[in-house]
């Protein structure tokens, strides 16, 4: 067993993983699904079906446009009722297809299964791209892009992320308990594609059952299961790499720079599905939880299930929530509509009750330094936030604002309740805009 390594800084919020003992439930087929054509980072998919078309489960609805993009597949069989737009969790309108299901759930002809041990990596990459697989940890970056590192960067270590350090969320935990074999297969496929020698699986030690199940599942496959100290944000890419390998991703660099690649366990399971069963990615395990809910749990939702349907499946609410969050409580996005659909990256739907609400207050920093102590990237969020308030973005860049991973540790510990993460996001956007402008100027 690897020594319980951890990273610098971090916090330990209340875990509140109430749904961790609730097995994953397969929900019934719903009447309608609203399937966004952009469920990933990058260019939105281009619709290949039109209004009135009959589709089958798993059929291609939208094809990827460009390299950093991903196709979208039908969650069930039915009719495309409308080509429209829908609200995404970020508050922007995204193109979407309204699919009225016929209740039959007829599957489309699956892609042929591939014997991955014999197949060349190129074929496997192609399959992963065709199955529309994106990172299921939250950022939804197209997996095939991640699996195609530049030739000068050799990846020797694949790290599976089963940490699930976000409080409240239990989807990955349940997935590890229930689909351990698929996760192992997915990891082996990924390692095969990359030619990685070492596979490490990081799990926080508050999930002893998952550690046990995964240890049994890996058998003698050479995958090493690492039990990690419970500390948020243990599951952040750079922090996880440091914890399990001791390597540090250079500031401003990528894990590939030090020969590592981090993949969520959900993504690994989806890769196994795509390669061994020819099944594209149109469903995911999502935790629906929060004190206002009648019965929190974990569901295998088809993409396009609206939050309203998800909450209905969780038995509705006992009291009205004050916040609805897409994702976990530390990094999730607050949303204001129940018409938002579950997408490939929705790891959780969290409802907060009135007495769990914490308000941000725009009061001055009292320089207590707690943000400093908790920041896993070693920045000084307190000083940065004051610079950003004064719109000194170029100064913030010098003080390393671009290293911010938006984990929220600083704002969690801030006794003055300053909206520090929002300041950082704003500064990052401004610095990026300035860099783009400078680049455009240099090219001209």
Partner 1 sequence: MTTVILLTVTGLVSGLAIGIVVKFFGTTPNPLEEKLLELVPGANCGGCGFAGCEGYAKAMADGSAKPGACPLMNDAVVQEICALLGVESEPRKPMVAVVCCSGDDDHAQRMAFYNGVNDCQNAMLVAGGGKGCVYGCLGLGSCARACPYGAIEIRPNHIAVVHPELCVGCGKCVLACPRRLIKLTPKSAPVHVFCSSPERGALKRKFCSAACIGCRKCVKEAGENQVSMNGSLAVINYDNPPDAAVAAACPTGALRTTAIMESTKG
Partner 2 sequence: MAEHMSENTIRLPDTSKLVISSSPHLHEDDSVRRIMFMVIVALLPACAAGAWFFGPRALWVLLVCVASCIASEILCTRLMGREVHVDDGSAALTGLLLGMNLPVTAPTWMCVIGSVIAIVLGKMIYGGLGYNPFNPALVGRVALLLACPTAMTTWVAPMTNHLEWAGVNSVTQATPLGVSELTAGALPFSYWNLFWGRTGGCIGETCVPALLLGGIFLIALNIIRWQVPVFYLATVALITGVTHWLAQAQCAPPLYHLLSGGLMLGAFFMATDMVTTPLSRKGAVVFAIGCGVLTSVIRIWGSYPEGVSFSILIMNSLTPLIDRWTAGKPFGTPRRAPREVKP
* Interface characters, 62-101, with partner 1 (x: CB under 8 A): ---------------------------xxxxx--------
Please, is 361 exposed, middle or buried when counting C-beta atoms within 10 Å of its C-beta (0-12, 13-18, 19+)? exposed
Angle (nearest 5°) at CA 422 between 416 and 428: 130
Task: Please identify, among the stretches 105-113, 249-257, 261-269, 329-337, the one whose residues bind partner 1 according to the rule CB under 8 A.
Answer: 329-337
Total residues at interface with partner 2 (CB under 8 A): 88
Look at residue 89 and give the partner it binds from partner 2, partner 1, none, a contact being a CB closer than 5 to 8 Å depending on partner kind.
Answer: partner 1
Q: Using the rule CB under 8 A, which residue among 46, 56, 81, 425 binds partner 1? A: 425
Shortest distance (Å) from residue 425 CB to partner 2: 7
Task: Express the helix, strand and coil content of the chain in percent, nearest 5 each.
Answer: 30, 20, 45
Work out the end-to-end distance of the chain between its first and last CA atoms, rounded to an integer number of angstroms.
55
Look at residue 90 and give the partner it binds from partner 1, partner 2, none, a contact being a CB closer than 5 to 8 Å depending on partner kind.
Answer: partner 1
Question: Residue 103 interacts with partner 2 (CB under 8 A)?
Answer: no
Question: Residue 440 interacts with partner 1 (CB under 8 A)?
Answer: no
Question: Residue 359 interacts with partner 1 (CB under 8 A)?
Answer: yes
Q: Using the rule CB under 8 A, which residue among 205, 358, 390, 432 binds partner 2? A: 358
Question: What are phi and psi for residue 306, nearest 5 degrees?
Answer: -75, 160
Question: Residue 405 interacts with partner 1 (CB under 8 A)?
Answer: no
Q: Using the rule CB under 8 A, which residue among 1, 14, 50, 362 binds partner 1? A: 362
Question: Residue 376 interacts with partner 1 (CB under 8 A)?
Answer: no
Alpha-carbon Rg for the chain in angstroms = 22
Q: Using the rule CB under 8 A, which residue among 429, 434, 437, 438 binds partner 1? A: 429
Q: Cα–Cα distance between 421 and 405 in angstroms, integer?
A: 9
Pick 157 or 188: Cβ nearer partner 2: 157
Hey, is 298 helix, strand or coil?
A: strand
Strands 333-335, 348-352: pairing kind: unpaired
Block residue for tokens 């260019």: 43
Shortest distance (Å) from residue 203 CB to partner 2: 19
Q: Using the rule CB under 8 A, which residue among 66, 336, 364, 442 binds partner 1? A: 336
Block residue for tokens 């399937």: 35
Integer CA distances (angstroms), 133 to 137, 220, 265, 271, 420, in order: 12, 27, 13, 7, 33
Binding site for partner 1 (CB under 8 A): 89-93, 333-337, 359-360, 362, 419, 422-423, 425-426, 429
């Amino acid at each position: 067993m690897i020594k319980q390594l951890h990273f610098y800084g971090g916090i330990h919020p209340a875990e509140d993983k109430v749904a961790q003992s609730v097995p994953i439930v397969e929900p019934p087929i719903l009447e309608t699904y609203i399937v966004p054509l952009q469920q990933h980072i990058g260019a939105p998919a281009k619709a290949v079906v039109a209004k009135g078309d009959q589709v089958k489960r798993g059929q291609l609805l939208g094809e990827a446009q460009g390299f950093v993009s991903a196709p979208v597949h039908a969650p069930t069989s039915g009719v495309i009722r409308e080509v429209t737009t829908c609200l995404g969790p970020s508050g922007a309108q995204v193109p979407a297809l309204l699919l009225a299901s016929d209740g039959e759930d007829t599957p489309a002809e699956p892609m042929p299964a591939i014997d991955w041990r014999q197949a060349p990596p190129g074929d496997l990459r192609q399959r992963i791209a065709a199955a529309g697989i994106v990172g299921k940890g939250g950022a939804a970056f197209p997996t095939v892009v991640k699996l195609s590192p530049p030739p000068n960067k050799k990846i020797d270590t694949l790290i599976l992320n089963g940490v699930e350090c976000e409080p409240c969320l239990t989807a990955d935990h349940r997935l590890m308990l229930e689909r351990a074999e698929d996760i192992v297969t997915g990891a082996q496929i990924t390692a095969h594609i990359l030619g990685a020698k070492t596979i490490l699986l990081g799990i926080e030690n508050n999930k002893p059952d998952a550690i046990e199940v995964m240890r049994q599942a890996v058998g003698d496959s050479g995958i090493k299961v690492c039990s990690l100290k419970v500390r948020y944000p243990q599951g952040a890419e750079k922090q996880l790499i440091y914890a399990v390998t001791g390597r540090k991703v250079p500031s401003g660099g990528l894990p590939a720079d030090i020969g590592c690649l981090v993949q969520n366990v959900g993504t690994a399971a989806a890769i196994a599905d795509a390669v061994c069963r020819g099944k594209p990615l149109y469903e995911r395990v999502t935790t629906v939880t929060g004190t206002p809910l009648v019965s929190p749990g974990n569901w295998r939702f088809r993409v396009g299930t609206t939050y309203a349907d998800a909450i209905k499946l969780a038995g509705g609410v006992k009291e009205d929530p004050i916040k609805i969050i897409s994702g976990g409580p530390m990094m999730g996005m607050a949303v204001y509509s129940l018409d938002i659909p579950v997408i490939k990256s929705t790891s959780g739907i969290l409802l907060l009750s009135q007495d769990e609400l914490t308000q941000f207050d725009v009061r001055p920093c009292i320089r207590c330094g707690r943000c400093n102590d908790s920041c896993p990237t070693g920045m000084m969020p307190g000083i940065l936030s004051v610079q950003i308030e004064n719109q000194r973005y170029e100064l913030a860049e010098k003080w390393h604002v671009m290293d911010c991973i938006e984990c929220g540790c600083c704002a969690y510990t801030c006794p003055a309740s300053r909206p520090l993460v929002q300041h950082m996001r704003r500064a990052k956007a401004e610095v990026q805009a300035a860099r783009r402008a400078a680049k455009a100027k240099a090219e001209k």
